[in-house]
Amino acid sequence: MIYDYEPSVDLAMTTNAFLLKGAAQRLKDAGLKRINVSVDTLIPEVAKDIAGKDVLKNVLEGVDEALHVGLKVKVNMVPMKTVNAQEIVSVLEYCKERNMSIRFIEYMENKFAAKEIQGMKSPELLAILREKYEFTDDGFDGSSPSHYYTMKDGYRFGIIEPYEDDFCKKCNRIRLTAEGNLIPCLYFDEAMSISASIKKGDIKGAAAVLKEVVRTKPEKNRWGGEDDEVSSRAFYETGG
C-alpha cells in the first residue's frame, strides 16, 4: 500500500527475524526491499541470554532466507563488555561474507536494560577492528546516523555513536510503531497516535499529526547527560 502511494519511498522493516524464514518471500512479493535485523552474537547460549529465548537458529535461517529471496539485509550489533565483545570481528565477518552491511551501535542505557551491562564506545570498537583490518574514516553520509568506515577491499561498516555531541544534528527520523504511534525521537517518551485518522481515512487529520510530530522533534538526545538520564521507553517498542 505504501509503495502504491509513493513508489520512491525508501522503506525498510525492522524485525527480530524470529519468524522471518516463513515470511521473507511474502515480504519480498509485497514490495519490501530491505530489512534490519539485530545479530548481537553467533553463539546460541549468548543469544538465549540476551533474548530470554533460544532464538539464534531462527534468526540466522531467517536472514539466509531473506537474502535468498532478494531482500537486502542490514545487521545491527550492540557490543557489550562481558556479553559479546569477543564477537565483534566474527559478526562483522558473518556480514561481510554475505555482503550485508553492519552497523555497530553503542549501547544506549534505558530503564529496561540490566544495570550491570556496560556498552562499548566507538574508540574501543575501532581499536579491536584495527588489530585485524585497515580502513579509512568516511565520516557521515546524508541523514544517516552512522559514522562510516571503508576497508581496503571496499567493505563498509558503520558505527552509531549517540553519545557524541553532534550525533542528532542531521537526524530526520520519524518512527511509526505497529500500534500506529508516531515517535519523533528514539530517546524521548513523546509519541502521537496517527492510527485513528488513518482508520477514518482522514488524510488531513493524519497530515496534521505528522506535522505536529515533526514540529516537536527534539534537537538532540540526552544520553551521557549530566543528570545521568536514561530513556524510559523500551527500544523493542520503538523499532530501529
Interacting residues with ligand SF4 (CB under 6 A): 145, 162, 167-168, 171, 173, 185-187, 218, 220-221
Asked if 72 and 35 touch (Cβ cutoff 8 Å), the reply is: yes
What strands lie across the sheet with 12-15, from one edge to the other?
12-15, 34-38, 72-77, 101-105, 156-160, 146-151, 135-140
- Minimum CB separation of residue 197 from ligand SF4 in Å reads 23
Helix (H), strand (E) at residue 138? strand 135-140
Q: How far is the CB of 88 from ligand SF4 (least distance, A)?
A: 23
Taking the least distance from each CB to ligand SF4, the nearer of 135 and 188 is 188
Distance, first Cα to last Cα, the chain:
21
**Can you say whether the dihedral through the CA atoms of 25, 146, 52, 43 is positive or negative?**
positive
**163: amino acid identity, one letter:** Y
Cell output for 127: 581499536
Q: How far is the CB of 160 from ligand SF4 (least distance, A)?
A: 9
Task: Kindly tell me which of 84 and 221 has the beta carbon lying closer to ligand SF4.
Answer: 221
Give least dist CB 103 to ligand SF4, A.
Answer: 13
Query: Which C-beta is closer to ligand SF4: that of 47 or that of 194?
Result: 194
Let me know if 95 is exposed, middle or buried by CB neighbors in 10 A (0-12, 13-18, 19+).
buried
Smallest gap from Cβ 52 to ligand SF4, in A, equals 26
Beta strand 34-38 with 72-77 is: parallel
